[in-house]
Structure 1
Amino acid sequence: MFMNTVRFAEKPLNLTYIHSRGDNRTILDGTFVWDPSNKVSANHVVGSGNCKLKYSYVHKGLTTIEPSYDVAKNSWDFAVSRRVNDDNSLKATYQSSSNLLGFEWLRNSKTSGCFK
């Protein structure tokens, strides 16, 4: 694995190169952080034609909106999460390739424990 961060337009571009000998795969991953609320990431498995692109927007530190596009499947996925309080958050997801809609309630409480 090789990781590096370069500056592009005075913003960090995080790059990762991973080669797995066991299954002979090479993965290229990059994340461009425009500001603390906006980032774009891409993931590509070399030789597979598979590339995933994702944008993440965090609104006021409470709500996160993440559309993503899978080039190989020619499909969009969407996720929206909202932190309700310090212990609870809600997340809704939609996968257009399989028409799956999901909802999650996550709790991370020191007094009553964690669950998903």
Structure 2
Amino acid sequence: MQSIDRDSRQYVQAHVDVTVAGQPYNPTTDPVDFAFAPIGARPTTWYPGGWDGTAAIPGSNAYRAHVLIGPGSTGPTLAPGRYAVWLRITDDPEQPVINIGQLFVT
């Protein structure tokens, strides 16, 4: 679980490993969005994210997606609590929605 202070403005990141027909695929041309929902709830509000570069993370087939959150960001400013973090990638024809873990805001 990632933890941040409520007054921080920083990136929340996710490692994304995609295959197409069993082969590694670079998803960095696809739009990526993040959502933060109370634990056990479905996402309702999505925030545009981005990709941290266009190359795979060294030694893997994963790519790093991220969204800037906190005061002064274009993402949410979250109250203290625990949140489920969701990731959505828009491709054609698929649009996977994935719960990627939890965020603890202090």
TM-score when scaled to structure 2? 0.23
TM-score when scaled to structure 1? 0.22
Write 1 or 2 for the structure with the bigger share of strand. Answer: 1
Flag the structure with larger Rg. Answer: 1
**Whose RCO is larger (CA < 8 A, sep 6+)?**
2
